[in-house]
Amino acid sequence: MDTVEIAGVLIDTRHYIDGHRVASVETFENTSPIDGSFLGNFSRAGASEVNAAVVAAKTAFPEWRELGPRGRGDKLEKLATLIEENIEVLSQIETLDNGSLLRSNRRGVMPRAAANIRFFADWAIKELKHDAFETRGHVNHISWDPSGVAALITPWNAPLMLATWKIGPALAAGDTVVLKPAEWTPLTASFFADLTIKAGIPAGVFNVVFGIGTEAGAALTQHPGLSRISFTGSVPTAKKIARAAAENLTPVNFELGGKSPFIVLGDADLELATDLAVEQYDNAGQVCLSGTRILVHESISNEFSRIFSEKTKKLIHGDPRNESTNMGPQIHQDHFNRIAGFVARAKDEGANIVFGGSPNLELGGLYFRPTLVMQPKNGSEILTHEIFGPVLCMQTFSNDEEALTMANSTEFGLAAVVVSGNHEHAEKITKNLVAGTIWVNCFFVRDLKAPFGGSKKSGIGRDGGTWSFDFYADVKNTVIAPNGWKD
């Protein structure tokens, strides 16, 4: 079977290469984390399908490059509109595939996917310019030239939205693309490929290969025909990709994990602080940006944990398709076991689990309760490793210096949240935090023009606005002399 019917639409289970659907002999099974239901047997790429996709992208590159920002922008605008017209179906298939909340997909995630495509198309047309620099009469013209074939490797926690974050700037910059979505969530990438055809994007400009990370992903990142590799995922996988990329000196952009601090200063508004803390369980904790280490000033810690516990108890755990649900299942049995393993080892070490710490047996399957671990030991696994599940740790501090030391004490530097009632106090903290993004009295808001990425082991490079083009494009300086002209 080449297609599977999901949410009233036919999803093709084959790769999309050079404008055609291409099947592999081998397949892998896709199931829903909601109830284990079957969602298709997808083609499982090896080196030959990956090579065909890179060759197709390379062949399509000159024509796409020649279209220029405006020609490409027209097609990308159509693509963004098509995403908007299909928000409902995209939301439904994404929810079935990865268990994320249907209402969040409808209202936030899928509109943002469309916005990503539209924003970067527009940015390439209007914003990619510098004032020309002038030195001794010589004018330096800076341009952002298409670089070639970009390989995009994406995760399962927000599959389409995170893919468009890369597809948007890569295609707008004039690169052609080979996308390898995560093996646990192939559905929206396949549907998206159909939308690119409707948008008039020429064959070979956008390709999708389905497959397992260690097979298709590895073959893709080793390929000598790439000009860029952009990856969002875990640190161990990033190290493998960096080694593969080193062989061909392919530039990489990595957005990796986090163990972000969520700092509540003594002058914080506790209602706001606890509301924001509850948000750290969003997407069942499967968000790289989550502030999973809650650091609270000792003067307010009892009150904070009382209100936070009350609010967390009200979270409705269950089927992510229901409007009232706050938290759905974990993505996959393997990931569920990994989360449960972290918690079991913490318990063995005598950790104080204030609430949660176990599966929700009434729901069965992959539902893990929201969990809070109080005052874990410094340096313990639960406090230093990214769990990527609904497991938060809480510690107290007695002064700003201690808060900063604790906050900066992991190998990650993706994000941080600071809750404070005093501008100066908040600024004193933010100035000394090591993180790519810091939210003060808020969470998760970001203008697409602003940079996004991680410090330390949380990533290499930044996305957003011109930063994205600095990566996907070849930045060129053409220096023009004042003399030597005959016209």
Residue numbers of the site for ligand ADP (CB under 6 A)?
153-155, 180, 182-183, 213-214, 217-218, 221, 233-234, 237, 240-241
Q: Which residues share a beta bridge with 455?
A: 413
Active-site annotation holds for 134 = no
305's tokens: 């944990």
Quote the least distance from Cβ 451 to ligand ADP, whole Å.
22
404's tokens: 């900063």
Provide CB contacts within 8 A for 128, sequence distance 6+. Answer: 69, 144, 466, 469
Quote the least distance from Cβ 222 to ligand ADP, whole Å.
9
Which of 288, 310, 381, 402 is catalytic? The answer is: 288
> Residue ranges of the alpha helices (H) in 350-438?
381-384, 400-407, 423-432
Quote the least distance from Cβ 122 to ligand ADP, whole Å.
28
Provide CB contacts within 8 A for 263, sequence distance 6+. Answer: 295, 403, 407, 416, 417, 418, 419, 429
Name the residue type at position 459.
G
170's tokens: 């890569």
Q: Which is nearer to ligand ADP, 182 or 373 (CB)?
A: 182
Active-site annotation holds for 288 = yes
Q: Which is nearer to ligand ADP, 75 or 223 (CB)?
A: 223
Long-range contacts at 374-377 (CB < 8 A, ≥ 24 apart):
374/305, 376/346, 376/351, 377/349, 377/351
Quote the least distance from Cβ 435 to ligand ADP, whole Å.
20
Q: Are strands 371-374 and 149-153 parallel, antiparallel or unpaired?
A: unpaired
Cβ-in-10-Å burial (0-12, 13-18, 19+) of 424 comes to exposed
Which of 49, 183, 255, 386 is catalytic? The answer is: 255
Provide CB contacts within 8 A for 240, sequence distance 6+. Answer: 218, 221
Cβ count near 393 (within 10 Å): 23
Contact yes or no for 436/459 (Cβ under 8 A)? yes
Instruction: Name the DSSP letter for residue 227.
Output: S
Q: Where are the beta strands (DSSP E) in 201-307?
A: 206-208, 228-232, 252-255, 261-264, 293-297
Residues labelled as active-site residues:
255, 288
